[in-house]
Amino acid sequence: MGKMTLKDIFNKVAVAMDEVDLSDYMQKIYECADSVQREVAVFASPIIKHVLLKAEHGRLELPANCYEPLALAVGNARIRYTNTGDGFLICKDGEYDLKYNAYPLKITDKTPLSTNLDITKEGAEAMVYGICAGLCINDEPELYSAYMDRYNGILDAIVSRKNRYPYAEVTGGVWL
């Protein structure tokens, strides 16, 4: 099965909230979904992308959706760079493959429900409970706490599973 769509998420929210339809929440649900999706992608389940970019005059402009560059390479060779923190990397001129953590696409009321979300299935499951919490924060505080506990529990599980398998990447050097 592929990635979850926005409709899949909203259907799961309706089931979790025991609602037949979400019409009472439509004014708030898109903004809430966008906020929760961004939080999940940045803090627990990053969206890793690659793009070919050209550096000119010693500067490489990062994509607008990049929040963290991970690596710059030509083929298999990693290239040194300096992140200026203002949307640019300082490096030698040339064409490079940039690997980076990306923000997800913004969700608005104009976003088609058939849109596939960039985050993982586990991240999408967490989103369901984060959205539920956001929808009932003002009207039903006891449900808000229950949904937030579930949301945070899923996020913790995602992060701890990632941290369970540390890895090291070694470049260069000589086998002894």
Is the pLDDT at 169 greater than 70? The verdict is: no
CA-nearest of 45, 11, 1, 48 to 131 is: 11
pLDDT score, position 174: 52
**CA distance linking residue 14 with residue 10, whole number of Å:** 6
What's this model's pTM, rounded to 2 decimal places?
0.82
Is the pLDDT at 175 greater than 80? The verdict is: no
Written as six digits, the tokens of 131 are 């959205």
Q: DSSP string of 35-81?
A: HHHHHHHHHTS-EEEEEEEEEBTTEEEPPTTEEEEEEEEETTEE---
**CA distance linking residue 103 with residue 13, whole number of Å:** 22
**CA distance linking residue 90 with residue 138, whole number of Å:** 46
Written as six digits, the tokens of 124 are 């999408």
Cβ(100)–Cβ(70) below 8 Å: yes
Please write the tens of the pLDDT for every residue from 68-81: 999 999 988 999 99
pLDDT score, position 72: 95
**CA distance linking residue 77 with residue 175, whole number of Å:** 19
pLDDT score, position 107: 96
Cβ(154)–Cβ(45) below 8 Å: no
